[in-house]
Amino acid sequence: MPIFGTSILSFIPSWSPEGGKYAIEKTAEYGFDMLEICLPASMDFDAKTTKKQLDNKGILGRCTLNLPKYCHIPFYPEKAVAIIKAALDKVAEMDGDFLGGVLHSAIGTFTGKPLSDEEKVILHQVFSEVLDYAQKSNITIAPEPINRYESYVYTAADEVLNLIESLKKPNLGLHLDTFHMNIEEQSFYDPIIKAGNHLKHVHITESDRGMTGEGNVHWDDFFKALGEIKYEGPLVLENFSSEIKELVGPTSLWRPSKYNSEDLAKGSLVFMKQMVDKWY
């Protein structure tokens, strides 16, 4: 069975010691098994204390990282290597085995052109180096493709799967997000089947970032595919409420949300469990 998780963004706009403690408490209170922690670019994150707080509440923790603008791989490969390695160190301090997120590019950074062959070479060099570094601590790295309005680097599952095939590193996987799939994929079923055991992490998000089951995502196709590949990794809720004011701009929540963050989290968890019961 999959692991039912949620993101810190269900509770707080970004990591802080106080906010993190609150998010951990709420994750446990609402009935989730796991909390995804989006690491701050500053790496101001006390991994050991956080691990103790997670253990005390009986929930798992997983880390992700979204590259900041000054670490966009095609422009700043050395800075990208440095921040990804720093993130991997934090994962190791938490006794973790995974780093996901937008690790291929900075969200919102564009050249006005498609990804070039020269940029692909740089990406391969960077990932090869950080994957070797991660392997020393038995950590899997799984880049998350995001939609064309947020990146030009990896926007669909096939592009990350091509990277996996090219590099042939055992600790490189795929992180998928249903919000981005709804824009970029022609099917919710086929990419899951094609990924197979390369799929390591999933963001569960409705097409409008709202309550799961009330938008345009083809959830039956998606969960049917997950059941067929026997996916047992995390299903991490990543929807947003305009109740958390600091997220309105970054997530383009220009209209007030129908639900507050608590109802959104609890209702979506019920929906995820129903879909797993149906298709597993």
> pLDDT per residue over 178-200, tens digit each?
999 999 999 999 999 999 999 99
| pLDDT greater than 70 at residue 158 | yes
Closest CA to 8 of 248, 258, 247, 260: 247
| Distance separating alpha carbons of residues 278 and 4, to the nearest angstrom | 15
pLDDT at 247 over 90: no
Residues in the chain: 280
Contact 237, 266 (CB under 8 A): no
Contact between 136 and 91 (Cβ < 8 Å): no
Domain count, the chain: 1
Decide: 33 and 236 in contact? Cβ < 8 Å: no
Q: What is the pLDDT of residue 242?
A: 66
pLDDT in tens, 101-144: 999 999 999 999 999 999 999 999 999 999 999 999 999 999 99
β-strand partners of 35:
6, 61
Known catalytic residues are 144, 238
* pLDDT tops 80 at residue 240: no
Beta strands in the chain (DSSP E): 3-7, 34-38, 60-64, 98-101, 140-143, 174-177, 199-204, 234-237
Asked whether residue 7 carries a pLDDT value surpassing 70, the answer given is: yes
Those residues with Cβ within 8 angstroms of residue 247's Cβ, 6 or more apart along the chain or in another chain: 9, 13, 240, 241, 253
How far apart are the C-alpha atoms of 106 and 110, rounded to whole Å?
A: 9
- Least confident piece of the model among 21-30, 43-52, 233-242, 266-275: 233-242
Which one-letter amino acid corresponds to residue 19?
G
CB atoms within 10 A of CB 198: 16
Mean pLDDT of 201-205: 98
* pLDDT for 244 beyond 90: no
Q: For position 50, what pLDDT does the model report?
A: 98
pLDDT, tens digit, 9 for 90 and up, residues 41-62? 999 999 999 999 999 999 999 9
The CATH number of the domain holding residue 24 is 3.20.20.150
- Average pLDDT for 250-273: 89
Q: Which domain holds residue 170?
A: 3-279
Q: Are 35 and 61 in contact (CB under 8 A)?
A: yes
Please tell me the pTM assigned to this model.
Answer: 0.96
Average pLDDT of the chain to the nearest whole number: 96
Within 10 Å of residue 25's Cβ, how many Cβ atoms?
15
pLDDT of residue 243: 76
